[in-house]
Chain A
Amino acid sequence: MGEPGTKEILSLEELEAAGNFRSGRKHIVSILVENKPGVLTRVTGLFARRGFNINTLAVGPTDDDSVSRITITLDGAVHSIDQVTKQLHKLINVLKIRDLEPEETLARELALFKISADGVARAEVMQICDIFRAHIVDVSKRAVVAEVTGTQEKVDAFERLIRPFGLIEMARTGEIAIGRGRNET
């Protein structure tokens, strides 16, 4: 690809090709940070600056009041993730970073689905909810609200099945995760 300083005109294909090398498996990165103002901005700003797309992001307290956990899922080749974790380590308020191994990790997200369900459709919707162990948390004349927890993939599957009935709206938290076994994440 041409250097920006030269007069060579860049084609759109070249620009797209240059961006392509960043794709790979899904990564769940767990980041423990000091619970201080502006820390989340530092973390997300770093992602934006270095060109990494965040798929989901969840922030919450941990067992220690002074520490928060940020869980981020993103797509990336291993090399890119390596750069991201190294760059994150440079933030003074970041205490610990784990790129979680999928087999050794429990990941869950919570989602709320508002589904159009009147008459006969309602029974069918409730049947699907049953299979996914989703709870109906609100019922009105023409809609139900279902609560689902599970991995991102499970929630995706639920969404695919429920969509044909008329998905009015959906809210998802993004995954949080914790390692299996005795060791701390």
Chain B
Amino acid sequence: MRAVDALMECLKAEGVDVVFGYPGGANLPTYDAFHDAGIRHILVRHEAGGGHAAEGYAKATGKVGVALGTSGPGATNLVTPICDAMMDSVPVVFITGQVRTDLLGTDGFQEADTIGITMPIVKHSTMIHHPSDLPRAIHEAFHIARTGRPGPVVVDIPTDLSRADIPYEPITDVHLPGYQPTTEGNQKQIRLAAKALANAKRPVLYVGGGAVGASEELVELALSDRLPVTCTVMGLGSFPASHPQWLGMLGMHGTRTANYAMDEADLIVAIGARFDDRVTAKLSEFAPRAKFVHIDIDPAEISKNVPAHIPIVGDTKNILPRLTAEYRALGPDPQRLEEWWHRISGWQERYPLAYEDSVDTEIKPQYMVQALYEATGGDAIIVSDVGQHQMWAAQHYHFDKPRHWINSGGLGTMGFGLPAAMGAKVGCPDKQVVALVGDGGVQMNIQELATLAQDQIDVKVFIMNNGYLGMVRQWQELFWDRRYSHVDMGNYPDFVKLAEAYGSTGFRFTDKTTLVEDMKRALATPGPVMVDVRVTAEENVYPMIAPGQPARDMVG
């Protein structure tokens, strides 16, 4: 059997039903093997689009995404999605073609040192040196990508090896002596954490992307008492935003309630979160009164930024039910939280997420998110790009379920939204999938509109169009004396015409009074749709922790 046919067998054995890719010289053999493989291949228009689509697929389904590219430029175009997947712990296997082995190291046509270039941004990578190694390498890649702290794995296959005839036996065991992630969680540590939580008078559950797969378990823990919950931008949806114990998102553009609660907490239970600088703000003044329980599957995250008093290494899905049981067994006095909730309710009443609405028909960006919530019934998978619209969506679209909010958090990759939405829709064909993007970021991977049209992937793209690179403009306004430098995007392109040119349906909405109905009409239009929503040009995301300031000094 050709090595590439074995590759297809391995992909099927791993449960792969779809891959996103782009062919080229060095992966011609792989593409030939697709003929009889019975695996759906989606031809993207740029490898970066394919990489982000694989991420969107993985984030929406929880399964491993797969992206393919050829050697050289094909592989370098995948660098951004690989890095994005690393930062947000997304399980994706990237399979790249490589020049034939006798050309390696000779600056051959379309040769790039893919393994070398991607080394700092992968969970693991491997180059195939012998064709018989390919099946095992593929299974190892999937195993590494999906287990422990998930992440990207790159497999680089020289083209001559991929054509070789190899004996193929299905592989059922993967043995990696240097890779044994801790998933269980130490019972003694869990008991300590339960005690600390039972004694805490001002506790907060601080939840990150590591709890997306343990949403029910998290809710169980929180409901053991009235334990207040806040999520990072990666964790939104793990705890229902409609629940009275929800404090809102925390961090730079989080709610005052969430940030003040962190500031005054005596115990913070970090659950699959990594104390990012966007969360802690000024590190030396972060949560000064708190002790920390830190639950994470990656031991390197423990005490990386904030020293943990009670570290628990393991899978949140495994640890949370045991923590809940230990906590309930202690029978803590629920009365002890009353004073805390009195304080929290005070903040909630005084500082709701508010904005000044327009007096005419102008669409405020915050209103656009609310209108989208209404038009979708609050049940769509919202895939955002990066910038102001991302923060407004995080604030104003109230996510009640996990895997309904997909964005690029750690790397902050503009151009992520449209292709990631494509991947999410392919993975969840029965869900309403909306790409909520800015007029800047959408242009960074706009070529994927062609993929949406050709494959009739039913994504509704809503552009929050303010004609600016809004987040950069906001920073220039607030911190650089309003000296705007290269943030004005003008009135280009005409997104409606562009949508039509790409074979989608285009709409432009400018009137707040009819926006919800207009949006419903766009959502009901069959096939891919792109909507240009004109919003206030110079609106700022508030509240905000100014750079270098502690959380309690939020402004706006």
Contact = CB atoms under 8 A, between A and B. Distances in A.
Contact of B178 (A2, A6, A38, A91): A91
A61 interface: no
Nearest to A90: B300
A7 B298 contact: no
Interface string A1-34: 0110111100000000000000000000000011
Interface residues of A, number: 27
Given A41-B116, A42-B119, A45-B119, A89 B300 contact: yes
B119 A86 contact: no
Nearest to B302: A86
B475 A87 contact: no
A92 interface: yes
B548 interface: yes
B310 interface: no
Contacts of B116: 41
Among B123, B178, B179, B479, max chain A CB count under 10 A is at B178
B205 to A, nearest CB: 24
B336 interface: no
A5 B479 contact: yes
Nearest to B472: A5
Given A37-B129, A49-B120, A92-B144, A5 B547 contact: yes
B479 A93 contact: no
A2 B298 contact: no
A7 B479 contact: yes
Interface in B109-137: 115-116, 119-120, 123-124, 127, 129
B548 A6 contact: yes
Contact of B547 (A3, A86, A93): A3
A105 B178 CA distance: 24
B285 to A, nearest CB: 14
B548 A2 contact: yes
Contact of B179 (A6, A45, A92): A92
Interface string A136-155: 00000000000000000000
A83 interface: yes
Please indicate which of the listed interface residues A37, A46, A90, A95 has the most CB atoms of chain B within 10 Å of its own CB. A90
A176 to B, nearest CB: 21
A128 B481 CA distance: 68
A6 B480 CA distance: 7
9 contacts: A5-B547, A7-B480, A34-B178, A37-B127, A38-B127, A82-B303, A83-B300, A86-B299, A94-B178
Given A6-B548, A49-B120, 7 more contacts: A3-B547, A8-B548, A41-B119, A79-B303, A83-B300, A91-B178, A93-B178
